[in-house]
Amino acid sequence: MFHKSKIRGTAGQRSSRLVALTISALVIGSASSYAYTGNWNARESVRYWYGAASSSDGTKLVALVSGGKIYTSTNSGVAWTERESNRDWDKVASSSDGVKLAATVYDGQIYTSTDSGLTWTARGAANRWQGIASSSDGTKLVAVASGRQIFTSTDSGLTWTPRESERDWHGVASSSDGSKLVAFVPGGQIYTSSDSGLTWIPREPTKYWDAIASSSDGTKLVAAANGGQIYTTSDSGATWTAHGPVRFWNSLASSSDGTILLAAAYNDLIYGSTDSGVTWIAQSPTPRYWHTVALSANGLERVATATNDHIYTDNSAAKASSNPVQKKGTLNIKKLSTSKYLLSMSSNAAESKFVITATKKGSKTLTFTGVTKANGSAAITVLKNLSGYKFAFKFKN
C-alpha cells in the first residue's frame, strides 16, 4: 500500500521546511528474517528415544525407541501410534511424503515400510548399522555400518549393493534425488559421492565427526565434530569452514535449501542457525540428553528426541512465519537548498528494502530505492528541485 505526500514550493520557501510522511506495509514474515529461541513441547511418554525423521511438510513424524518400538505421528507430533516390535532401533529415514520409511536395528537388519509405518519388512543382512538416508521419493536408500561398507539401494531397500571400503562408518546424508551422498568416519574423514555412491572422494581433515546433514540439492552440507565445532560447505564438500561453539555435537538437521540448520549437543542444548551455519543461537532452555533432531523442508517444523526423556516438537517458527508482520515507518522530506533535498526515514523495519516514488504532473516519475539500517533508519540525498512533487513510499517484501 502506497502512502502519499506533496511538497508545495514557493519562491520564498525556507530551506529547513520538513514534511513527514507516515507509511506502513504488511509483509509476511520469512524464516530467515528473524531469530527465534524455540518453544518446545514435550510429547509422548518418557522412553529411551533414539532416531527420528520428518516428512517435508512436518506433519508425518517417525521416532524410534532403543529396545522398544517405532512410533509414528500424522499431526506434527501431537499424538503418536505404536508400531512394530521391540528391537534395538537406532536410525530412521523418511521419504518426502512420509509414506516410505526405513529404520535400522543395531546388530540387526534394516526394516522398510511403504504405508507410513503401518507395516514393516526386514531387508538386507544383519550389521551394526549406524546411519541411513533416503531420497525424496524413498526409492534410493543409503546406509552405513560400523566396520563394514557403505550400502546403497535403488529399489526402496529390496536389494542392497556394498560400496567403498570397510571403515568405521557412523553417519550418512543424501540429496533429494539420491545422487549426492556424504558419509563420515569418526576419527577419520568425510567422504562425498556425486554418482549415487558408486565412487567416493575423501574430504576434510581427520576429526571425530559425529553428525552430518545435507540440503536438498546436496550443495550445502553441514558436519559436526564431537568435542569440536560445526563445519559447513556450499560446494558439495570440496571446502569446509568452521563455525559455532565447541560442543559434544551428536545430531544435525537441514532445511531443504540449507539455510536453516538445527544442531543438538549431548547433555547440552539445541542450537539453530538461519544463515546456513554462520551464526548459532540456543534453541532450548534446558540441557537434555538429546539424541536426534529433524526438520521439515522449510525448516520451521522441528522435532527432537532425548534419551530417557520425551519427544519434543516446536512449530513456533512456523506460526511466526504465517503471521503478518506490520512494518511501519515515517518518511521525512527536507529541503536543503533549491536543488538539494534529504529524504530520511525512521522505521521498525531493520535491513528492509524500500522504494520511494516522486511524481509531478508534466515531469518524469522519479524512483529512489534503498535498504534500511539495522536500527530501521535510512537517508537519501537528492540533487534535484523536488518542489511540487508527490511522494509515495512502500517496503518491498
The string of pLDDT tens digits covering residues 13-72 is 333 444 455 444 443 333 333 344 578 999 999 999 999 999 999 999 999 999 999 999
Class of domain 31-321 as given by CATH: mainly beta
pLDDT of the residue at 13: 39
pLDDT of the residue at 374: 74
Class of domain 3-29+324-395 as given by CATH: mainly beta
CA distance 113 to 264: 27
pLDDT of the residue at 20: 52
CA distance 269 to 281: 10
Q: Where are the domains of the chain?
A: 3-29+324-395, 31-321
- Give pLDDT < 70 ranges for the chain: 1-37, 318-325, 397
pLDDT of the residue at 397: 59
Let me know if the fold of 3-29+324-395 is the same as that of 31-321.
no
pLDDT of the residue at 63: 98
Q: Which residues are CB-neighbours of 30 under 8 A, at least 6 positions away?
A: 321
* Strand, helix or coil for residue 107: strand
The string of pLDDT tens digits covering residues 369-395 is 888 887 888 999 999 898 888 888 888
pLDDT of the residue at 76: 96
CA distance 323 to 288: 31
CA distance 178 to 163: 15
CA distance 169 to 286: 31
CA distance 271 to 38: 10
pLDDT of the residue at 205: 87
Q: Which residues are CB-neighbours of 312 under 8 A, at least 6 positions away?
A: 40, 41, 42, 43, 284, 303, 304, 305, 306
* Strand, helix or coil for residue 32: helix
CA distance 230 to 247: 9
Read off the C-alpha cell for 232.
559447513
Q: 112 - beta bridge partners?
A: 102, 121
